Structures are given as structure tokens and as C-alpha cells.
Amino acid sequence: MNLMPLILAAVTLVSTGIGGVTAVRFRDRLHLLLGFSSGAVIAVALFDILPEVYSFGSGSTYFPITALGFLAFFGLERYTAMHRAREHGHAHAPHEQELGTLSAAGLVLHSFLDGVAIGVGYQTSASIGLLIALGIIAHDLSDGLNTVTVVLAHKNPLRRAVFWLAIDMIAPVVGAAITLAVDLSPALPWLLGFFAGSFIYIGASDLLPEAKEHDSPLVGIATIFGMLMIYLVTRLLHGFRV
């Protein structure tokens, strides 16, 4: 049994935890991290996942599932009111603490799917799995930050934010473990297409707008660097594709 998906999912656990700590202590440098993460996540979708999907057959066959992946994560973010929590944390809505909990639960589902994406990538090839994991490790810093921020923004105590951060950290490992027990190979091109859409959404519609809230020109440089790094890693791994 190949345990690499579990090992890499465990690295995302650390990444998410660091993001949660950053939310409390180092927020003034967050825009650079978000810019880098945005570039890395989009690059994984464009330079690695989508070309792999096309290798299974006609690309147009999988365009609808890629769009579905984009829309699914858009719907998940809207449903959990993630942006509403970040932008209007001062609002006094009824059951405000419950809304924070619901938002955190949505982020946990997102992280669980990240773990599934790593496992699906490894069922395709080791290099695909590694590149997907790199993208997820990069953006899970933001996931950890968002989990803490969204819970605290709805007037929950810090201990509840820490509880949901711990659940969010564990979720990718659970998702990756499930893929070890289930053979998903018949559905691989469809699943990869779905996750390509979700990565494009996460990078372009979630991470990058947050990074651009700061006027620093370094945000653009960080984004380009993130994309360039993944592109070079993709080219390097291409010769070792298994």
C-alpha cells in the first residue's frame, strides 16, 4: 500500500496549523503568502491537472466537470458565508456564533476534499499526486487562517476556534485515507477535472482577491513566483512521470 498520500496529507495538517497561528500573530505579512499560494494553486490546475485530464481523451468531454468543480466550491463558499464573516465581523445577526460554526464546518469539508484530491492524484501517478499536494499545502495556510478568523469573527471564544482548527487540520488526512481503501481509477479523469475547477476557483476567486486587498506591488511578484515555482517543478517531474 502506498502511504505517500497519507504522509503528504499530514504535511497539510502542519500547513493548516501554521495558517491558524498566523491568523493570530502575523497577519501583517499575510498578503504575500496569499499571493504566492494563489499563483501556486492556479499553476497546479493549468500546468499539471488539466493536461493530465486531456491525456485521457477529448478535453471537451471533461469541460463540464471542470466547470462543476469551480461552481461547487463557489457554492460551498457562499453557503458558509466565509466572505461575509471576514468583511462584516462586527454585524450582530441572530445566532451569530452558530453561523461561525457553520462556516468552519464548510471549511472542514473543503479540507476533507483536499485530502481526497491528493489520493486521487496518486492513483493517477506519483508526480500528479505530489504536485496536487504542493498546491494544497500552499493554500492550506490560508485555510487554517480562515478557520480561526471566521470562528472568532462571529464572537466565538478562542477555544472554539482552536477546536475547529484542529478538526480542519485532521480532515485532509481522513480524505486521503479513504482513497487508500477505495479504487477510484475508473473515475479518475472526472475527479481530476472536478478538482482542476476547484483549484482555479480557490486561486483566482478566493486567495488572490484577499491578497489584492493590500496595495503592495510585492503581491504580484509573489503570485508570479508561486506560478513559476510550480511550473518548474512540473517540468522537472515530467521526466520522472510514473
pLDDT for 193 beyond 70:
yes
The pTM for the full model equals 0.65
Query: What are the pLDDT digits (tens) for 63-90?
Result: 888 899 899 878 876 765 554 444 454 4
Residue 93 CB: number of other CB atoms within 10 A? 12
Residues 154, 98: Cα–Cα separation, whole Å: 8
Higher pLDDT, 42 or 94: 42
Across residues 124-146, what is the average pLDDT?
Answer: 79
Is 22:144 a contact under the CB 8 Å cutoff? Answer: yes
Higher pLDDT, 239 or 214: 214
Q: Kindly report the CA angle at 143 between 137 and 146, in degrees rounded to 5?
A: 155
Q: Give the chain's mean pLDDT.
A: 77
> For the chain, which residues make up each domain, given as ranges?
4-238
The contacts of residue 221 (CB under 8 Å, 6+ apart) are: 35
pLDDT for 211 beyond 70:
no
pLDDT band per the 50, 70, 90 thresholds, residue 104: confident
